[in-house]
Chain A
Amino acid sequence: MADNRRRFLVAAIGTTGAALTALVGWPLLRTLTPDSGEGADAQVRVPRKDVPVGGAKFVQYKGKPAVVLQPEPGKFTALSAVCTHLGCIVKFKPEQGDFECPCHGGRFDTKGEVLAGPPPEPLATLAVAVDGDDIVVG
């Protein structure tokens, strides 16, 4: 009888303790995982004059680097600037008109397609709209 009672009490203390650990531990853990940065700056405006024809302008979009291009006069595109191989930031080579990743030599064209090297996927394409003198990414 006393044994049953005790077993129940021990189980109840264990359950309450586990519930409390989760209930208190989760919020405290959350202090280390702030918002991902999405939403806060979901749209980025870039002045049109910053993106010359055949040039590239690097901006921060949703917490990660992105690049805005003007491949033909009046036509704007935007790509993620994060290499799909190991996450380095690609460099724009204006003389060749393509991107090269300084880490392992991956190369991408201005549409984001892989030209050479280890990257497994093309660079992600981002939505672009022209609004007056600004280009809006996102």
Chain B
Amino acid sequence: MTTLARKAVDWLDERVGIREAFRENATEYRVPRNINVFYSLGTVLLVLFGLQFLTGILLLAHYVPHPDQAFDSVKRIVNEVPYGWLARNLHAVGSNLAIVVLLLHMLSVIFMGSYKKPRELTWLSGFILFNLGLALCLTGYLLPWSQLSFWATTVSTEAAGSVPVIGEYLVRIARGAPTVGGATLGRFFALHVVVLPLGLLAIIGAHLMLVRRIGISRPPFGKPGEVVKKGVHEDHPDGIPFFPNYVAEEIAVVSFVLAGLFAIAVFSPEVFIPADALEPADPFNTPAHIKPEWYFLWAYQTLKIMPTEFIGLAVQGAFMTFLALLPFVDRKAERHPFRRPLFLSLFVGIIALFIGISVWGHYS
């Protein structure tokens, strides 16, 4: 290190103690010896969310949230703004990839039983983050004001109408008018660029604080290392240093995910930008075969197959509540999936059910 850089670090160190902070959180921060690749998904999500913020701000500089201009402004971003196509494709593909990684992160935490005591709040905050992610996707979907935007939002807001008594009122709140229109665009825009990102940032902060405070969970597989308990908090004195050992792994996983993101965004963005997304919204012309995004297909199909939409909504609500409260329902200490046959069969069964319903929804 040059003397100038060393001086700058010294200066900061004297004031905010960055060397100590780095030691505590990096070189001397020990993670379990049998840590595996799935523990890097949180970092992948941080990078993906960061990229969504960056590309989102760039798009925000050019986007016009008005029904008469939104579609054309996106068209201009993609066709005229230098590299606007890149920002747009990264943002659209990145949102899908973020949902994929959110799902993988959640599924691996469930599979390894990491949500159990004392990490109930870590799980709950993570579950809220997952829902915020879905809400960001839903609200962002409307902004380009394409046929896809308009009709997907019409269908998704319509579903709230089947709630008894207050259903009509809920639809009004969601749309700001009897049908999707300028008022809907305004509130979705506000949610998408201010409310939800702020919520996401705050809860990411809480999530990370909880992860650090409670200590990361020991995977139930492989040779377990030593664990020191300080109250409910865990330490892994014989673990491996987070930096550089596990950071190297995170660099690898993040790089591969970004390679995938850029490959799709540059070579085949149409995978995540359907044909209806290229036609301007027309409130008088519903396109044929309008379908929600892949991550909402399960919800779409459940609404269709239940006797009434309200039962469908109730089933979805019950399932999401069950997921949110999972650590409070499942309170046994055993975490190894192969020693929890009921859990394992439910885990595999529910995933298969979701995939099945989604595929059905896609082809129905």
Contact = CB atoms under 8 A, between A and B. Distances in A.
A1 B262 CA distance: 36
A31 B81 contact: yes
A28 B251 contact: no
Interface string B46-74: 00000000110010011000000000000
A27 B86 CA distance: 8
Given A32-B58, A32-B61, A27 B83 contact: yes
B58 A31 contact: yes
B87 interface: yes
A28 B55 CA distance: 8
Contacts of A34: 80-82
Interface residues of B, number: 15
A96 interface: no
Interface residues of A, number: 11
Give chain A's interface secondary structure class. helix
B32 interface: no
A28 B87 contact: yes
A24 B90 CA distance: 11
A30 B82 CA distance: 6
A85 to B, nearest CB: 30
Interface in B1-58: 54-55, 58
A134 B55 CA distance: 45
B84 interface: yes
A50 to B, nearest CB: 30
Contacts of B54: 28
B58 A13 contact: no
Nearest to B62: A31
Nearest to B88: A31
A33 B82 CA distance: 8
Contacts of A30: 82-83
Interface string B218-253: 000000000000000000000000001000000100
A31 B82 contact: yes
Interface of B: 54-55, 58, 61-62, 80-84, 86-87, 244, 251, 262
Given A24-B262, A35-B82, 6 more contacts: A27-B83, A28-B54, A28-B87, A31-B62, A31-B83, A34-B82
12 contacts: A10-B244, A27-B82, A28-B55, A28-B58, A28-B83, A28-B87, A31-B58, A31-B61, A32-B58, A32-B61, A33-B82, A34-B82
